[in-house]
Structure 1
Amino acid sequence: MLSVLRIQNFTLIDQLELEFGPKLNVLTGETGAGKSIILDAIDIVLGGKVNNRLIRQGTQQAIIEATFQTNTKIRQWLSAQEIDPLEDGTLVCTRELSLTGNSMRSRCRLNGVLVNLSLMNQLRESLVEITAQGQTVQLMDSTIQRDLLDLYGGQPILAQRQVVAAAYEVAKTALQALEKRRQSEQQRLQRLDLLQYQLKELEEARLTDADELEQLQQERDRLSHVVDLQKSSYQAYQLLYQNDSGELAIADLLGDAEAILTNMEEYDKEINSILEMVRNALTQVIEAGQQINAYGDGLEADPERLTEVEERINLLKRICRKYGPSLTEVISHYEKLQQELSELNDSEQSLEKLEQDYQAAQKKLDELCQNLTELRLGAAAKLEQQLVKELKPLAMEKVIFVCKMIPISPSASGADQIIFYFSPNPGEKIQPLSSTASGGEMSRFLLALKACFSGADNPSQTLIFDEIDAGVSGKVAQAIAQKLHQLSENHQVLCVTHQPLVAAMADVHFRVEKEMIEEYSQEEESHNGQLKFPEIRTVVRVKKLENHQTRREELALLTGGHSADEAIAFADSLLLKAAAYRLGKP
């Protein structure tokens, strides 16, 4: 419930503070008096769109502050956003508009905590709902009508709609996968040809060892240098073991050193370790000489093998240039190609599986949509009955209302198009609401529709009606007044009206008017030493009518535009009848 609204420097308002009551609050005043500015302020403090013209001329900042009484749901939401409640349990929503040059800046706060517009809009739905006759254009939309029916149906329909939306996403994803697979068939065949060619080339290369290229290069070097290796091995053998030139070989010299050390050992046992090292060296030299001799004997030229090795090296290098910088990468690429080929060859099975998945998802979606349709049929029958009941007291005793459901292709919202059909007068064929109802009839339709939702709505929500009674008079205006009062039993209602019948029913009555004031733009002297003349400004003033006398005068003005005796008498009668109605004595 909106308890206090404070406005500063907003359009034509310089300073304003309003305290609203819990039931029916009415704002009256002449056309153009500024009543809608109050509603605009409520809209903007809860995240509505802003522009530079909203800040009062001559100022740079506007502030709107709305204080709401909270309930458990709102307090839980605030706790989830880590916003601490105030000590008295209220919620203070603030919107600050600042103007620098032509640049507008806006800041929103909840209990003093800065929040973004998205968060403020989330909260808005739990705090207020603004209904105006201009909403009739939106009400003509069948999508809006479907949403209204679902909201009327309550949690069972809303929950089923979420299930349908999830199933629709599953079916849509399955269809996208299937279509993508179908569209890629030509690409698949082209890819198959390429894979088969590449795999054939790699298979013919017989790649098994990632070190093969290095090993072949070593073998090529050996085969191409056989003569040099034979000559070098013979020279090494001569130096190590047997020298044909008559000079001593290393083995001979080590043998002589061994003999000397053996003689020395007879006189000094400490030389034993040195002797062992020489003996070991001699043994290794002899073994090395024998091995190098055998190596040289085993070397022989093999031109055919050399040709084979070089051809194999050239092949492997070409393969590496084409498929990878090294044989390791080539072999890994070969394995990936085999895997991809296997997957592509299984494509027919994959396509069939995708088709099965889509058919299953679509079947599931159809079933869930049918369940949603059945729930909507029940809600539609109930809405038809209740809406007609709510419309009859609004001087539409013979009204016919039908909520038609037309099958459509399944979507995230189900498989139904909802169209409201309406016949306000006896003998007239029912037609879509968009082509039947007049402005006055639509006002009553909106009010009756809101009455249908009042039981399911958030009881702490403030319902705001902006001239919902425009275009009606007499008996219809009285019926609208009574309907607004009924709504105020479960909700706080704030209503802008020109109808004295509606204003008389108010629990709290405000008069809105414009006033001309003198205002100095700045305190300074002019060139001639005289103070500047004050500037004439227009401001909006709101007065709470708290006694019978002020209310009867306002109702008289609404009735006849003056305070004539007849208008005063009529105003008195309206107040008496309204008081009797509120006491249950119409």
Structure 2
Amino acid sequence: MLIGLRIENFALIDRLELAFGAGLNVLTGETGAGKSIILDAIDAALGGKVTSRSIRTGSQRAVVEATFRLSSQVAEWLNQEEIDLLDDYAVVCSREMSTNQEGILRSSRSRINGVLVNRQQMEQLRSRLIEITAQGQTVQIGQTAIQREYLDSFGGVNLIEQRQKVSAAFQSCSGALAALENRRQSEQMRLQKLDLLEFQLRELSAAKLNDPDELESLEQERSRLAHVVELQKQSYQVYQALYQNDADAQAAADILGEAEATLIDMVIYDSSLQPILDMVSAALAQVAEAGRQINTYGESLEADPERLESVEQRIRQLKQICRKYGPTLPEAIAYQQGVEAELQELKGGGQSLETLEKIYQEKKVILQECCQTLTELRLTAARKLEERLIEQLKPLAMEKVKFQVEITRISPTANGADKIIFLFSPNPGEPLHPLTETASGGEMSRFLLAFKTCFSMGLVGTLIFDEIDVGVSGRVAAAIAQKLHQISHYQQVLCVTHQPLVAAMADRHFRVDKQVIDTPKGEKNGQATDFRTVVRVSYLDSHSTRSQELAQLAGGDSATEAIAFAESLIAEADLKRKDKGSRYNL
């Protein structure tokens, strides 16, 4: 049950705190007064969609916080999610939103009892706390896919689990059919494909592609073989420069040797020069070693025209392979491996048509059996839903209504082999037709109220109805009011209404209106005006204030006749409460 709501800088609300109670809580006010903003704030606190427009103009941060009375079901879920209890009384759901300097939504964080949670966790908790119903949902409930979801949800855990089995069986069967069809379609081209792949494999195998770096190594070797004389000459030049110079000039090793000898003498008198001596000695050793190695390299060079020709031929062969199967040598090697695998499959490494056909038929039977079980569960759920919904509609001035869940067989899908259509006939003697083709606006309002009652009874602590009574009046409005009152014996009900008959039944009555206030210093937001529009909510806790509000709803003024009518509604509502006895303790 929702017991408290705190809002800061949300839409037109600057700051607001509301306390709700058990039973029927009603919000009234003129059209556009901001009643729906209150419901939007509750929705936002429980993970609903928000945008930058959700944050009050001139502010960069908004907070909504909804406090619910803790139930055993919610406490168990919190324990599973390892979220600590604040106490044994309440659970707090909050949402913080912020924008950047340009007014673009920057962050939106949800918390449960102060613990940061993800969207999935908040949705799971939401399903245990509230059910929000608006008249706009009549469009959705007319869709067959939505009707199937509602029926399956009504069927309970066993039906949902069976539908999951159907989904798994469908995926398995679809995979088997795809494998079978692919094999059938490829059979005619199999021999042509075999010839092509075998030719390619022969050519690739003859090239003996083993080393992905072979082409790079061969090109390096070719370059060396083609420049043997030049490399010999240059290596000898390097050797003379580093180690032993035939000319009068000193080699690098000679110069470093002289420097080392001088430093040795200097160190005798100043030991701080030892690091420099060490570096020169190391440089001398490296230069000497480099000289020896370049000399060995030069002596090893030898012209080999035959080897050069062989290397060039191999390079041409590999480049031709790369042009056809590459463009690089590693890619050509990978292509060869792919050809080998594909050939193995085409030559019988895969399953035969007969085997694939047998596998598909077996999985098809499993899918059909799963679908049949699901259909039976849906039929059982449909009969129960029909009975319960008709019982819920009777008190809403629809005593002769007929409702039927039509289930027809279709080809198996991931959701089963059933097409679900809600058929409805509000008038005696009229045949059943699809729901949206038959029901008027007022009838859809009553249908939606009864329908949501069937689904939410005992599952959540709070039912929220946003103008569920739009388009009705007189006896029908009175029936809706009575129904909401009956529901509120077992679950908290929060209702936005324009109907005085509904508002009169409220246990707690709130009036919502807009007010223009002076803008606090520094909150002009660059505008010329010093005023801002805000939403205010008043708790009508006296007989006179309620009478005034009901008179406004009934007649648009507070004339004597309207006041008298409002007082009669309140008196009649009080009598109905007394007739029902004490309220069920939520």
TM-score by length of 1: 0.72
Q: Which runs of 5 or more structure 1 residues have no equivalent in the other structure?
A: 208-313, 324-332, 525-531
Partner residue in 2 for 1:20: 20
Once the 2 structures are TM-superposed, how far is the Cα of residue 384 of structure 1 from its aligned partner? 1.9
Which residue identity does 2:414 align to in structure 1? A
Once the 2 structures are TM-superposed, how far is the Cα of residue 140 of structure 1 from its aligned partner? 0.8
8 Å Cα contact 1:131/1:464 also seen in 2: yes
Partner residue in 1 for 2:495: 495
Between 341-350 and 533-542, the greater mean CA deviation after superposition: 341-350
Partner residue in 1 for 2:573: 578
Partner residue in 1 for 2:236: none
Deviation track 1:258-313 (CA, whole Å, cap 9, x = no partner) reads xxxxxxxxxxxxxxxxxxxxxxxxxxxxxxxxxxxxxxxxxxxxxxxxxxxxxxxx
Q: How does 1:358-377 map to 2 (within 5 A)?
A: 358-377=360-379
8 Å Cα contact 2:131/2:460 also seen in 1: no
Partner residue in 1 for 2:248: none
8 Å Cα contact 2:130/2:460 also seen in 1: no
Query: 2: distance between equivalents of 1:580 and 1:352?
Result: 78
Once the 2 structures are TM-superposed, how far is the Cα of residue 341 of structure 1 from its aligned partner? 5.6
Once the 2 structures are TM-superposed, how far is the Cα of residue 389 of structure 1 from its aligned partner? 2.1
Alignment partner of 2:579: what SS? coil
Alignment partner of 2:442: what SS? helix
8 Å Cα contact 1:521/1:534 also seen in 2: no
Partner residue in 1 for 2:545: 550
Once the 2 structures are TM-superposed, how far is the Cα of residue 173 of structure 1 from its aligned partner? 2.1
Q: 1:178 to 1:80 in 2, by over 3 A?
A: farther
Confirm whether residue 538 of structure 1 aligns to residue 538 of structure 2.
no
Query: 2: distance between equivalents of 1:561 and 1:339?
Result: 83
Alignment partner of 1:173: what SS? helix
Alignment partner of 2:448: what SS? helix
Query: 2: distance between equivalents of 1:347 and 1:55?
Result: 64
Partner residue in 1 for 2:159: 157
Query: 1: distance between equivalents of 2:431 and 2:523?
Result: 70
Which residue identity does 2:128 align to in structure 1? S
Partner residue in 2 for 1:467: 467
Q: How does 1:47-86 map to 2 (within 5 A)?
A: 47-86=47-86
Once the 2 structures are TM-superposed, how far is the Cα of residue 80 of structure 1 from its aligned partner? 3.6
8 Å Cα contact 1:520/1:533 also seen in 2: no
Query: 2: distance between equivalents of 1:571 and 1:158?
Result: 48
8 Å Cα contact 1:454/1:487 also seen in 2: no
Between 28-37 and 193-202, the greater mean CA deviation after superposition: 193-202
Q: How does 1:114-513 map to 2 (within 5 A)?
A: 114-185=116-187, 188-194=190-196, 343-346=345-348, 349-455=351-457, 457-460=458-461, 462-513=462-513
Once the 2 structures are TM-superposed, how far is the Cα of residue 428 of structure 1 from its aligned partner? 2.1
Deviation track 1:470-513 (CA, whole Å, cap 9, x = no partner) reads 11011111111111122222222110001111111111111111
Q: 1:197 to 1:440 in 2, by over 3 A?
A: same
- RMSD of Structure 2 on Structure 1 (CA): 3.5
Once the 2 structures are TM-superposed, how far is the Cα of residue 432 of structure 1 from its aligned partner? 1.0
Which residue identity does 1:414 align to in structure 2? G
Query: 2: distance between equivalents of 1:412 and 1:136?
Result: 26
Which residue identity does 2:2 align to in structure 1? L
Which residue identity does 1:103 align to in structure 2? I
Q: Percent same amino acid among aligned pairs?
A: 60
Confirm whether residue 96 of structure 1 aligns to residue 96 of structure 2.
yes
Query: 2: distance between equivalents of 1:358 and 1:584?
Result: 65
Q: 1:411 to 1:197 in 2, by over 3 A?
A: same
Which residue identity does 1:71 align to in structure 2? S
Query: 2: distance between equivalents of 1:476 and 1:394?
Result: 6
8 Å Cα contact 2:131/2:456 also seen in 1: no
Which residue identity does 1:38 align to in structure 2? I
8 Å Cα contact 1:25/1:495 also seen in 2: yes
Once the 2 structures are TM-superposed, how far is the Cα of residue 464 of structure 1 from its aligned partner? 0.8
Confirm whether residue 519 of structure 1 aligns to residue 525 of structure 2.
no
Q: 1:552 to 1:322 in 2, by over 3 A?
A: closer
Partner residue in 1 for 2:329: none
Once the 2 structures are TM-superposed, how far is the Cα of residue 555 of structure 1 from its aligned partner? 1.5
Deviation track 1:88-142 (CA, whole Å, cap 9, x = no partner) reads 4522222122122232122222222223334323332222221111110001101
Q: 1:521 to 1:174 in 2, by over 3 A?
A: farther
8 Å Cα contact 1:454/1:490 also seen in 2: no
Deviation track 1:378-433 (CA, whole Å, cap 9, x = no partner) reads 22222222222221221122212121112111112111111111111123222111
Query: 1: distance between equivalents of 2:423 and 2:52?
Result: 43
Once the 2 structures are TM-superposed, how far is the Cα of residue 353 of structure 1 from its aligned partner? 1.6
8 Å Cα contact 2:144/2:420 also seen in 1: yes
Which residue identity does 1:548 align to in structure 2? H
For the pair shown, the structure with the greater C-alpha radius of gyration is: 1
Query: 2: distance between equivalents of 1:183 and 1:2?
Result: 61
Partner residue in 2 for 1:566: 561
8 Å Cα contact 1:459/1:490 also seen in 2: no
Once the 2 structures are TM-superposed, how far is the Cα of residue 364 of structure 1 from its aligned partner? 1.0
Alignment partner of 2:480: what SS? helix
Query: 1: distance between equivalents of 2:543 and 2:337?
Result: 95
Between 474-483 and 122-131, the greater mean CA deviation after superposition: 122-131
8 Å Cα contact 1:518/1:534 also seen in 2: no
Q: 1:552 to 1:143 in 2, by over 3 A?
A: same
Once the 2 structures are TM-superposed, how far is the Cα of residue 339 of structure 1 from its aligned partner? 8.4
Q: 1:454 to 1:65 in 2, by over 3 A?
A: closer
8 Å Cα contact 1:25/1:506 also seen in 2: yes
Once the 2 structures are TM-superposed, how far is the Cα of residue 347 of structure 1 from its aligned partner? 6.1
Once the 2 structures are TM-superposed, how far is the Cα of residue 334 of structure 1 from its aligned partner? 11
Once the 2 structures are TM-superposed, how far is the Cα of residue 148 of structure 1 from its aligned partner? 1.3
Alignment partner of 1:584: what SS? helix
Q: 1:346 to 1:447 in 2, by over 3 A?
A: same
Between 550-559 and 33-42, the greater mean CA deviation after superposition: 550-559
Once the 2 structures are TM-superposed, how far is the Cα of residue 566 of structure 1 from its aligned partner? 2.3
Query: 2: distance between equivalents of 1:408 and 1:577?
Result: 52
Query: 2: distance between equivalents of 1:402 and 1:507?
Result: 35
Alignment partner of 1:369: what SS? helix
Which residue identity does 2:418 align to in structure 1? D
8 Å Cα contact 1:464/1:493 also seen in 2: yes
Q: 1:187 to 1:46 in 2, by over 3 A?
A: farther
Partner residue in 1 for 2:216: none
8 Å Cα contact 1:391/1:399 also seen in 2: yes
Once the 2 structures are TM-superposed, how far is the Cα of residue 561 of structure 1 from its aligned partner? 1.9
Query: 1: distance between equivalents of 2:336 and 2:4?
Result: 76
Query: 2: distance between equivalents of 1:334 and 1:35?
Result: 71
Q: 1:118 to 1:202 in 2, by over 3 A?
A: closer
Which residue identity does 2:459 align to in structure 1? N
Which residue identity does 2:384 align to in structure 1? K
Q: 1:345 to 1:119 in 2, by over 3 A?
A: same
Q: 1:104 to 1:195 in 2, by over 3 A?
A: closer
8 Å Cα contact 1:177/1:354 also seen in 2: yes
